[in-house]
Amino acid sequence: MNKPKVIVTRRWPSEVEAQLKTRYDVQCNESDTPMTVDALKRAMQSADALLTTVTDAITADIIHVDNRQVKIIGNFGVGYNNIDIQAAKAANLTVTNTPHVLTDCTADIAMLLLLMSARRAPEAERMVLNRQWHGWGPTQLLGQKVTGKTLGLIGFGRIAQAMARKAHHGFGMKILFYVPSDPEPAIVNELHATRCTNIEELLTEAHFVSLHCPGGADTKHLLNEHRLKLMRPTAHLINTARGDVVDSEALIKALKEGWIAGAGLDVYEGEPAIHPGFLELNNIALLPHIGSASEETRIAMGNRVLDNISTFFAGQTPTDRVV
């Protein structure tokens, strides 16, 4: 019996690629160059499984390509707004993601960005690297204290809850959150968290606001000019969710004009392109989408995809099926 053919769109951790090669007829992306639309269409026509990343835009045009052979898309990431889910449903195409395994690492990065922004770490590092630091001074690079402050979370899923635990138990922070659905009472009680009735209430109360909602049309520019103006002038905005949740133009204006004190971003609208306005600011921490970038987590993500496609090819429903 022939092994199913699997095409991987980017380089994955070597030990995961090695496991794939023992189980399947695998085509890996040795150059690690993002695949073009035409290459993705050819992959859909020639493979049984396409293993994508969150930066591969799998559009309806790609999904509905003539003579499609792919039966399952195994997405390497918890988010899947890079895939046209409605088109996948219409095509009877199975889509899976990789939840759970990247929770702590992404929450770690959110806390890192919060601390970097609060204490003006990027500005301070540039001062040292540019040989502009001439010694300690009592008013030099004054930032905001983190311990004991209020953290507001927009979204209250696994990553938000992990960040809340680190902030509350590690830094004594008061936790506010907003989420449309009802959260687990035990988690709310553990964190002594308070649920806000709407986003506006959270923005006016929090010293730090961290975004943990999914991307997509429903949340595009959720943080716009009007809402940014509701935040405290000493507040900081952290985004490790999806870039388009924040209106980039509005955030740049907010940081330039002092509506808020600072921001920390790991995701961007239209990434890998970054709005040039961000690069002109001192009061922002910028990371290149490394939320899950630890060896342990990326291997676990790859293994999660492996488990999902193995289950699918065994004729069963994958654990992480989203379509």
What is the SS3 string spanning 68-88?
CCCCEEEEECCCCCCECHHHH
C-alpha distance from residue 84 to each of 49, 58, 193, 305 (Å): 16, 6, 35, 19
- Give me the residue spans of the domains in the chain: 5-101+295-313, 103-286
Separation of alpha carbons 248 and 241, rounded Å: 14
Residue 119 bears catalytic tag: no
Q: Do domains 5-101+295-313 and 103-286 have the same CATH topology?
A: yes
Catalytic residue, chosen from 242, 269, 298, 304, is 242
Predicted local confidence at residue 110, as pLDDT: 98
Q: Which CATH architecture has domain 5-101+295-313?
A: 3-Layer(aba) Sandwich (3.40)
Catalytic residue, chosen from 190, 225, 249, 271, is 271
Please tell me the CATH superfamily of domain 103-286, with its number.
NAD(P)-binding Rossmann-like Domain (3.40.50.720)
Residue 289 bears catalytic tag: yes
Predicted local confidence at residue 1, as pLDDT: 66
Predicted local confidence at residue 90, as pLDDT: 98
Predicted local confidence at residue 147, as pLDDT: 98
The parts of the chain modelled with pLDDT lower than 50 are none
Predicted local confidence at residue 56, as pLDDT: 96
Predicted local confidence at residue 27, as pLDDT: 97
Predicted local confidence at residue 145, as pLDDT: 98
Catalytic residue, chosen from 23, 64, 275, 289, is 289
Separation of alpha carbons 53 and 238, rounded Å: 23
Predicted local confidence at residue 204, as pLDDT: 98
This prediction has a pTM of 0.94
Beta strands, E only, the chain: 5-8, 25-27, 49-53, 72-76, 94-96, 150-154, 174-178, 194-195, 208-211, 236-239, 262-265, 284-286
Residue 200 bears catalytic tag: no
pLDDT tens figures, 75-130: 999 999 999 999 999 999 999 999 999 999 999 999 999 999 999 999 999 999 99
